[in-house]
Chain A
Amino acid sequence: MLYRTAIGAVSLALVMGAPIGARAFDESKYPDFAGQWKRPNGIGNQFDIDKPKDRGQQVPLTPEFQKIFEEGLKDQEAGGQGNDPTYICIPDGMPRVMNVIFPMEIVVTPTTTYMIVEYLSQLRRIYTDGRDFPKDYEPSFTGYSIGKWVEPDSTGRYQALEAETRLLKGPRTYDPAGAPLHPDNDSVIRERIYLDKADHNLLRDDITTEDHALTHPWTVHKRYVRVENPIYMEASCSEGNPHVRIDGQNYMLSADGHLMPAKKGQKAPDLRYFK
């Protein structure tokens, strides 16, 4: 994996620009990311929003992982969940969280940009205080993100936030179709987040994923529209989730509370521990 953010560069940014400890936060220095953002109308939950879902995504998977992807799709066609781990409320993780199934709020502060994603209780912190990646850190689904504000205009206002995310855990897939990321979880995800020049209510996130399940880095261009009068709905996945995983298999709960097969011909779970 290529690690672009060198300690030296980060340290220089710290000295040059970061207002650490400042008590007056000059919001005019940053692009106006504040507020609630959602997927544009008509955009589904696929990772590359400019391509059709499932195989149409043309994920540049290695042959080994293409085979895993195909097996997952086959299982989904038979009624299973395939490779998608989120059916039991496991979070999307990065970069899938940026599919923004439910709206996302962005809060910019001098040292951290927060991305608060209601869906599956996902919270991203993009640190912009000049820190380097920690040496020992528990990996997580959303990973550890370091950002840098770049491209100040003539007034000194930054035009974009560049972020790099590492220290991830799995299992993770790009979207519900289940194209997998490598289980070594060495993914590195780079983002360039900026407002559209012509429309400041359109946010762009160019995401490049480097992962050992890919033959080469995969770049997608996400777009989000600002919500004028936001309502923050609570998305509690566990509430009313009909999926149950027992012995590695997905079962369903019926409306009357009984365990049901999720696939045709599926056997009941082994009840060896019951008298």
Chain B
Amino acid sequence: MRHKFSAASLAIAAALALPAFVGTPAHAFDQSKYPDLHGQWLRVGSPRWDDAHAPLTPEYQAIYQANLKDMAEGGQGIDPTYTCMSPGMPRIMNVYDPMEVVVTPGTTHILIQHIHDGRRIFTDGRDWPKEIDPTFAGYSIGKWRDTTGSERFDLLEVETRNLMGPRVYDSTGLPFHEDNQTVIDERIYLDKADANLLHDDITVHDHALTGPFTANKKYSRTPEAQPVWLESQCPDGNHHVKIGKENYYVSETGFLMPAKKNQAPPDLKYFKQTQK
């Protein structure tokens, strides 16, 4: 995997570009130095990646096709989120539920309620931790850039590593390599012609791919000054139950049901008494 930010470059960047924010916290956070990302952002378009152009290796193309076949038969394929597992990165940025971006001097927070989609993008000049548990959202280090010489940041470059799985790109089950060595680069910026349109150009490097896989995600800002933030809690009312490797449904009346045609019931060998 390619690691774009070396420890040395980050240290230099911290010293050169972010002197006020490294070490001691500044007491006046000059928001005018940063792009105005406040408010509520909704995804533009469908929460999908372009699976037709995903450069999957033959091995992972076969895994993807088997997954699609299972889905066609009523299964969940290899999409792990039906049991409320976090979508992880980069699927988080499909933005299933509205997103808030909170910029602070040391961290940019991506707040999405959906399942477990919160992200921290550290912009305090830190290097990658030597030992840290991998996570679905990964560990993200960002760097603000002033690309126009206006003395105002207009681009946030981000790299994300330290991921765990299973993860897929979207609900089609497009897979990542199970080694979880994925590295994700992002360029996050406001549209030059429309300040209410946010871009996230995402490039994925993964061993299930023959080359980098890129998506250009867009989000539109809602006009409401006080947007509605609905709580989205996947386990609340989730009808999917995973027993062993099988997905079952729980009916509205509470009974266990097959999720696929002719699905066998779960093995009840640990019960002394049955209800039928």
Contact = CB atoms under 8 A, between A and B. Distances in A.
Nearest to B250: A246
A247 B255 contact: yes
Contacts of B266: 258-259
A142 interface: yes
A253 interface: yes
Interface in A254-269: 254, 256-261, 265-269
Nearest to A248: B254
A254 B116 contact: no
B194 to A, nearest CB: 20
Given A121-B116, A238-B83, A257 B229 contact: no
What does DSSP make chain A's interface, helix, strand, loop or mixed?
Answer: loop
B2 interface: no
Interface stretch (B26-34, B52-60, B169-177, B207-215): B26-34
A3 interface: no
B141 to A, nearest CB: 13
B44 interface: no
Interface in B166-211: none
Interface in B39-75: none
Given A27-B27, A248-B254, A274 B265 contact: yes
A219 interface: no
B264 interface: yes
A273 B256 contact: yes
B111 A116 contact: yes
Contacts of A135: none
Interface stretch (A41-49, A88-96, A158-166, A204-212): A88-96
Given A34-B25, A254-B270, A259-B266, A121 B115 contact: yes
What does DSSP make chain B's interface, helix, strand, loop or mixed?
Answer: loop
A265 B116 contact: no
A90 B233 contact: yes
A152 to B, nearest CB: 16
Nearest to B29: A25
Contacts of B160: none
A240 to B, nearest CB: 10
B267 A258 contact: yes
Contacts of B233: 90-91, 120-121, 141
A134 B115 CA distance: 25
A127 B241 CA distance: 37
A270 B28 CA distance: 62
Interface string B242-258: 01110000110111111
Contacts of B226: 127, 129, 131, 134
A24 interface: yes
A237 B236 CA distance: 13
A246 B256 contact: yes
Given A237-B235, A267-B273, A258 B243 contact: yes
Contacts of A267: 271, 273-275
Given A25-B28, A273-B256, A234 B136 contact: yes
B15 interface: no
Nearest to A253: B243
Contacts of B273: 265-268
Interface residues of A, number: 62
B28 A24 contact: yes
A151 B84 CA distance: 43
B241 A244 contact: yes
Nearest to B32: A23
Contacts of B116: 121, 234, 236
Given A34-B25, A257-B245, A270 B102 contact: no
A275 B258 CA distance: 9
Given A23-B32, A257-B245, A267-B274, A236 B230 contact: no
A273 B243 contact: no
Given A27-B29, A131-B226, A257-B245, A271 B265 contact: yes
Interface of B: 25-32, 83-86, 102, 104, 107, 109, 111, 113, 115-118, 120, 129, 132-133, 135-137, 226, 228-231, 233-236, 241, 243-245, 250-251, 253-258, 262-276
28 contacts: A25-B31, A27-B28, A28-B28, A91-B233, A107-B107, A116-B109, A121-B113, A129-B226, A134-B226, A138-B231, A231-B129, A233-B133, A234-B135, A234-B137, A237-B84, A238-B85, A238-B234, A239-B85, A246-B255, A247-B255, A258-B243, A261-B271, A265-B272, A268-B271, A270-B255, A270-B276, A274-B256, A274-B265
Given A107-B102, A267-B274, A268-B268, 18 more contacts: A25-B28, A90-B236, A107-B104, A107-B107, A121-B117, A123-B111, A234-B116, A238-B84, A238-B234, A238-B235, A246-B254, A257-B243, A257-B244, A258-B244, A267-B275, A268-B274, A270-B275, A271-B275
Which 4 pairs between the two chains have the least Cβ-Cβ distance?
A257-B244, A140-B231, A234-B135, A268-B271
